[in-house]
A and B are shown apart, each in its own frame.
Chain A
Amino acid sequence: MSDLTIVKGERTLAQRILGVFSKGFVNVALIIVALLWVIPTLGLLVTSFRTVGDSTTSGWWTVITRPAQLTLQNYVDLLSNSAITSSLVNSILIVVPATLLVVIVGALAGYAFAWMDFPGRDGLLVAVIVLLAVPLQVALIPVARLFGWLGLFGTIPGVILFHVAFGLPFAIFLLRNFFTQIPREVLEAARVDGASEWRIFSRVILPLGAPAIASLAIFQFLWTWNDLLIGLIFTNAESQPITVAIQSQLRQFGSNIDVLSTGAFVSMVIPLIVFFAFQRYFVQALLAGANK
Chain B
Amino acid sequence: MTTAVDEAHIAPREGGSTPPSRSRRREWLVALAFLAPALVLLGALVVYPMIYTLVRSFYSARGDHFVGWDNYVAMFTSDTTFTAIRNNVIWVIVAPITCTCIGLVFAVLLDRIKWSTAFKLIIFMPMAISMLAAGVIFRGMFQEDPDIGVVNAAIVATKSAFTNQAAYPGAKPRPDAGIVADSGIIATEGDVTAGDNATFPLVGIRTDALGDNPTQASGPPQPADAEVTGTVWLDFVRGGGGVNGQIDDGEWGLPGVRVDAVAADGTVAGTAHTEDDGTYVISGLDPGASYRIALPAANFTEGATGVPWLSSTFITAVVILSYVWIWAGFAMVMTASGLSAMDRTLQEAARVDGASEWKVFTRITAPLLMPVLIVVFVTLIINVLKIFDLVYVIPPGNAKPAANVIAVEMWTVSFGGGNDQGLGSALAILLLLLVLPFMIINVRRFRQEREQ
Point out the residues of chain B lying under 8 angstroms from A8, CB to CB.
Answer: 354
Task: Check A261–B136 contact: CB distance below 8 A.
Answer: yes
Docked CA distance A103–B435 (Å):
26
Task: Check B407–A137 contact: CB distance below 8 A.
Answer: yes
Interface of B is mostly: helix
Task: Check A43–B140 contact: CB distance below 8 A.
Answer: yes
Quick check: is A63 within 8 A (CB to CB) of the other chain?
no
**What is the distance, in angstroms, from B98's C-beta to the closest C-beta of chain A?**
14
Quick check: is B344 within 8 A (CB to CB) of the other chain?
no
Point out the residues of chain B lying under 8 angstroms from A250, CB to CB.
Answer: 136, 393
Docked CA distance A292–B381 (Å):
10
Instruction: Please tell me the number of chain B residues within 8 Å of chain A, measured between CB atoms.
Output: 97
Quick check: is A84 within 8 A (CB to CB) of the other chain?
no
Q: Which of B128, B354, B421 contacts A141 (CB 8 A)?
A: B421
- The proximity string for B residues 1-42 relative to A, scoring 1 for CB distances below 8 Å and 0 otherwise, is 011001001100100100000000001101110110111011
Docked CA distance A31–B28 (Å):
58
Task: Check A138–B442 contact: CB distance below 8 A.
Answer: no
Task: Check B13–A274 contact: CB distance below 8 A.
Answer: no
Task: Check A169–B139 contact: CB distance below 8 A.
Answer: no
Q: Which of B130, B415, B428, B446 contacts A126 (CB 8 A)?
A: B446
Task: Check B37–A44 contact: CB distance below 8 A.
Answer: no
Quick check: is B72 within 8 A (CB to CB) of the other chain?
no
Quick check: is B121 within 8 A (CB to CB) of the other chain?
yes
Task: Check A43–B150 contact: CB distance below 8 A.
Answer: yes
Task: Check B119–A34 contact: CB distance below 8 A.
Answer: yes
Identify the stretch in A70-78, A209-217, A226-234 within 8 Å (CB) of chain B at 4 or more residues.
A226-234
Task: Check A172–B122 contact: CB distance below 8 A.
Answer: no
Point out the residues of chain B lying under 8 angstroms from A124, CB to CB.
Answer: 35
With A117-B27, A133-B435, A134-B46 given, is the CB distance from A37 to B122 under 8 Å?
yes
- The proximity string for B residues 44-64 relative to A, scoring 1 for CB distances below 8 Å and 0 otherwise, is 111111101100100000000
Task: Check B125–A272 contact: CB distance below 8 A.
Answer: yes
Most central of A133, A165, A265, A287 by chain B CB within 10 Å: A133
Residue of B nearest to A41 (CB): B137
- The proximity string for B residues 377-398 relative to A, scoring 1 for CB distances below 8 Å and 0 otherwise, is 0010011011011001100110
Task: Check A112–B6 contact: CB distance below 8 A.
Answer: no
Within 8 A of B (CB), among A200-253: 201, 222, 225-229, 232-233, 243, 246-247, 250-251, 253
**What is the distance, in angstroms, from B388's C-beta to the closest C-beta of chain A?**
5
Residue of A nearest to B341 (CB): A287
With A40-B325, A228-B392 given, is the CB distance from A61 to B121 under 8 Å?
no
Point out the residues of chain B lying under 8 angstroms from A194, CB to CB.
Answer: 2-3, 6
**What is the distance, in angstroms, from B78's C-beta to the closest C-beta of chain A?**
18
**What is the distance, in angstroms, from A99's C-beta to the closest C-beta of chain B?**
15
Quick check: is A13 within 8 A (CB to CB) of the other chain?
no
With A33-B106, A37-B325, A194-B6 given, is the CB distance from A271 to B428 under 8 Å?
no
Docked CA distance A26–B9 (Å):
57
Docked CA distance A195–B126 (Å):
45
Quick check: is B414 within 8 A (CB to CB) of the other chain?
yes
Docked CA distance A33–B328 (Å):
12
Task: Check A133–B431 contact: CB distance below 8 A.
Answer: no
Point out the residues of chain A lying under 8 angstroms from B28, CB to CB.
Answer: 118-119
Point out the residues of chain B lying under 8 angstroms from A11, CB to CB.
Answer: 354
Task: Check B112–A61 contact: CB distance below 8 A.
Answer: no
With A34-B123, A140-B414, A165-B46 given, is the CB distance from A118 to B382 under 8 Å?
no
With A34-B119, A44-B136 given, is the CB distance from A143 to B45 under 8 Å?
yes
Task: Check A59–B2 contact: CB distance below 8 A.
Answer: no
Docked CA distance A153–B431 (Å):
24
Residue of A nearest to B3 (CB): A194
Task: Check B10–A188 contact: CB distance below 8 A.
Answer: yes
**What is the distance, in angstroms, from A36's C-beta to the closest C-beta of chain B?**
9
Q: Which of A131, A143, A246, A261 contacts B42 (CB 8 A)?
A: A131
Task: Check B397–A246 contact: CB distance below 8 A.
Answer: no
Task: Check B6–A226 contact: CB distance below 8 A.
Answer: no
Within 8 A of B (CB), among A162-205: 162, 164-166, 168-169, 172, 188, 191-192, 194-197, 201
With A116-B27, A135-B431 given, is the CB distance from A30 to B397 under 8 Å?
no
Quick check: is B164 within 8 A (CB to CB) of the other chain?
no
Quick check: is B279 within 8 A (CB to CB) of the other chain?
no
Task: Check A138–B429 contact: CB distance below 8 A.
Answer: yes
Most central of A111, A128, A130, A274 by chain B CB within 10 Å: A130
Quick check: is B309 within 8 A (CB to CB) of the other chain?
no
Q: Which of B125, B382, B421, B428 contacts A41 (CB 8 A)?
A: B125
With A135-B431, A194-B2 given, is the CB distance from A264 to B132 under 8 Å?
yes
With A29-B109, A197-B30, A229-B411 given, is the CB distance from A40 to B9 under 8 Å?
no
Quick check: is B264 within 8 A (CB to CB) of the other chain?
no
Task: Check B106–A142 contact: CB distance below 8 A.
Answer: no
Docked CA distance A59–B393 (Å):
21
Residue of B nearest to A190 (CB): B6
Within 8 A of A (CB), among B37-96: 37-39, 41-42, 44-50, 52-53, 56
Within 8 A of B (CB), among A253-292: 253, 257, 260-261, 264-265, 267-268, 271-272, 274-276, 279, 282-283, 286-287, 289-292
With A57-B147, A272-B129 given, is the CB distance from A138 to B432 under 8 Å?
yes
**What is the distance, in angstroms, from B194's C-beta to the closest C-beta of chain A?**
43
Point out the residues of chain B lying under 8 angstroms from A188, CB to CB.
Answer: 10
Task: Check B128–A134 contact: CB distance below 8 A.
Answer: no
Quick check: is B200 within 8 A (CB to CB) of the other chain?
no
Docked CA distance A282–B427 (Å):
32
Q: Which of A109, A143, A264 contacts B133 (CB 8 A)?
A: A264
Q: A57-B148, A129-B443, A195-B6 are in contact. List 9 more A-B contacts (CB 8 A).
A: A59-B148, A108-B35, A129-B442, A137-B407, A139-B53, A194-B3, A226-B130, A283-B124, A289-B379
- Of all A-B residue pairs in the complex, the 4 with the closest CB atoms, nearest first, are A275-B128, A226-B130, A165-B45, A109-B38
- Chosen A-B contacts, 20 in total, with CB atoms closer than 8 Å, are A37-B122, A40-B134, A109-B35, A111-B34, A117-B13, A134-B439, A137-B407, A138-B49, A138-B53, A138-B429, A139-B45, A141-B414, A142-B53, A146-B44, A161-B41, A165-B46, A222-B128, A275-B128, A276-B121, A283-B337
